[in-house]
Structure 1
Amino acid sequence: MKRRHLLGATFSTLAILSMPVFAETKWPERPVKILVSFPPGGSSDLVARMLGEKLSATLGQQFVVENKPGAAGTVAASALKAADPDGYTFMLSNLTPFNVAPVRFPDTPYDPITDFDHITYIGTVHLGLFAASSMGVSDLEALIAAAQADPGKYEYGSSGVGSWGHIIAEQFQNVTEAELFHIPYKGSGPMRLDFRGGVVPSIFDAVPQNLPAVQDGTAIPLAVTATERLSSLPEVPTFTELGYDIVAENWLGLSAPAGVDGEIKAKLDMALTEAMSLPDVQAQFDTWGLVREPKTSAEFEAFVSDLLAQWTPLVTAAME
């Protein structure tokens, strides 16, 4: 009996020691806020709301989305930096406020690396060059030839000056010597409305939001900025496949103000990673064209830093 009691005590002790270190934290004890740097209805907003629902169910507190659009995402990122690092304010982070805006706007009031804890990488959407069917081009080379033959005649839209669409369009023109006339919009929503209405003949925009236009024949996808063909557009070549060194990805992740307790970050990362493994979430990611490649928190931190270095010369060149 004594030996059984001793073994039982030993196994109980081992079980306690093997439990995750965050098991003692009571977080979250009240609703948690997720900032989104875009208006309601966009891909970032939809991802935040879907994952927020999963986190609410798993962690027992509401995860509430708060939209803070404006100034290339710096409004939301600035609010995140100013928040108390107590584990109750996070942001669905993305490329523009962390890899583009700090270069584009030197007075950006935060450091994209040191002022934040980048906790969980969610996934990536890629950019595409889309032409209206009325433009009369069926492939990338046809558009390049037309733009080279008549510089400035053909227009393209982007979601704004300094947006990733604008920057990649500038890179495209540099490597192809095809001159297009830029029409910047205040967001991708108004741009897509004009594109589908025939106002602007081509756009550089995220792939997922343009899939309905591709399916109904309104938009012709000419190339994508992925490193390999996308499952959502398997017939569309990549720029690199066509001989142009143009690669771009708009990543999504969950970030916090610097200094959040490690146990909270570990608990959140585990819950979010489990949520993203659910079949319904994976199916929705596929529908949206969101490419998921798991990364640890340390890998995600390095990823954000590496992309800042990668985008700095591209943004600088677009500003010249």
Structure 2
Amino acid sequence: MSRRPLLFAPLALPALARRAAAQDAWPSRSVSVLLGYPPGGVTDFASRAVCERMGRALGQTMVLENRPGAATALANTAVAQARPDGYTLLMGTSTLAINPALQPTLTPRDPMKDLTPVGMIFRTAFVLHVHPSVPARNTAELIAYAKANPGKLNFGSSGTGAVNHLCLELFRARAGIDVVHVPYRGGPAALLDLRQNRIQGMFNAVQEALPAVREGATRALAISSKERAAAMPELPPLADVLPGFDGVFWQGLFGPPGLPAPIVARAGAALRDATTDTDLIARMAAQGVALTPGDDAVLRQTLAAETAMWGQLIREQNIRPE
């Protein structure tokens, strides 16, 4: 038997010791946290608030870097290719579960393998709301009206493949209705046309729909999550009419592949401090966002389940990017 491995083994021990010490000392400097969205909006707001709270827990600055582009793939790929030393992390979102089926050429092609889950951050639901000219006061009445008037209702979205578009497709498929999808370049333009009855309905994030609903410019019928939203507790879940319906936008913290377990544990603990902070919970609830504490196993399960759900829907409905 060769003695070479035995001869080299002592030489590896100092390197292993240094690596273990570095992990124990993490973080010893500021941490970059990438986000695949531009400044402004709920993802940016939540990410900055969580980074600030995590930084206090860790004793180091968490620097949020906005890197929008390619359906968040620029930020996702940068972290997937980063050194697994804990100094480059990702605010990953639902797009990680959508892109593999919708745009399979984008990287990372397999987020389950190409990223390391750290923990959950939030879930935010969508409001199903319609123009007041639509004679429906609840979900059941909307389904009945759509069935009696196939192809006559236009529903907008933020763009093909956006989560609110996929919620519409899930609603259309589960309810068995024929409504027309009108994709926009962003939610604000679609919401403006909904206010003016150029389209008749859409799914909007709670904080986006709330002003129009309160003004009476639109009528809210239901919430897309399986649980009620704190900002609009009067809205029943779509699941009351369509059992099992649960369509949300979510966000979690990820690291590069091979991120050491001690770093995952420490980052996860700091993240839990942030997502259970009562002040931050209240601030986010006012924006229609429910902070959702959960460790790396919960995030991994969420990513796997959503990848399967949206992937099946995208294939069955033959959804293609614009």
- Interval containing the TM-score (normalised by the shorter chain): 0.7 to 0.9
- CA apart distance, 1:85: 2.0
Which residue does 2:203 correspond to in 1?
Answer: 204
User: 2:34 aligned with 1:32, yes or no?
Assistant: no
Tell me, yes or no, if the aligned pair for 2:123 and 2:291 is still in contact at 8 Å.
yes
Instruction: Measure, in 1, the Cα distance between the counterparts of 2:60 and 2:197.
Output: 46
Check 1:256–1:126 CA distance in 2 against 1; reply closer, same or farther (3 A cut). same
Instruction: Measure, in 2, the Cα distance between the counterparts of 1:265 and 1:79.
Output: 18
Structure-to-structure mapping, 1:1-320, within 5 angstroms: 25-96=24-95, 98-110=96-108, 111-243=110-242, 245-319=244-318
Number of residue pairs matched? 299
Question: Match of 1:164, as an amino acid?
Answer: V
Deviations 1:28-67 (A, max 9, x none): 2333222222222111110001111122333333222222
Instruction: Measure, in 1, the Cα distance between the counterparts of 2:43 and 2:231.
Output: 18
Tell me, yes or no, if the aligned pair for 1:158 and 1:166 is still in contact at 8 Å.
yes
Question: Match of 2:147, as an amino acid?
Answer: Q
Structure 1: unaligned runs, 5 residues or longer: 1-20
Deviations 1:158-184 (A, max 9, x none): 111122222221222223232211111
Tell me, yes or no, if the aligned pair for 1:35 and 1:68 is still in contact at 8 Å.
yes
Instruction: Measure, in 1, the Cα distance between the counterparts of 2:308 and 2:174.
Output: 20
Tell me, yes or no, if the aligned pair for 1:171 and 1:318 is still in contact at 8 Å.
no
Describe the SS at the equivalent of 2:290. Answer: coil
Check 1:31–1:130 CA distance in 2 against 1; reply closer, same or farther (3 A cut). same
RMSD over aligned CA atoms reads: 2.3
Structure 2: unaligned runs, 5 residues or longer: 1-19
Instruction: Measure, in 1, the Cα distance between the counterparts of 2:193 and 2:79.
Output: 33
Instruction: Measure, in 2, the Cα distance between the counterparts of 1:219 and 1:79.
Output: 40
Check 1:189–1:28 CA distance in 2 against 1; reply closer, same or farther (3 A cut). farther
Check 1:240–1:30 CA distance in 2 against 1; reply closer, same or farther (3 A cut). same
Tell me, yes or no, if the aligned pair for 1:214 and 1:221 is still in contact at 8 Å.
yes
Tell me, yes or no, if the aligned pair for 1:124 and 1:290 is still in contact at 8 Å.
yes
Tell me, yes or no, if the aligned pair for 2:124 and 2:289 is still in contact at 8 Å.
yes
Tell me, yes or no, if the aligned pair for 1:22 and 1:267 is still in contact at 8 Å.
no
- What is the TM-score when the length of structure 1 is the normalising length? 0.84
Deviations 1:128-181 (A, max 9, x none): 211123445332233323322332222111111122222221222223232211
- What is the TM-score when the length of structure 2 is the normalising length? 0.84
Instruction: Measure, in 1, the Cα distance between the counterparts of 2:83 and 2:264.
Output: 14
Name the % identity.
32
Instruction: Measure, in 1, the Cα distance between the counterparts of 2:136 and 2:184.
Output: 23
Q: Which moved more, 1:51-60 or 1:250-259?
A: 51-60
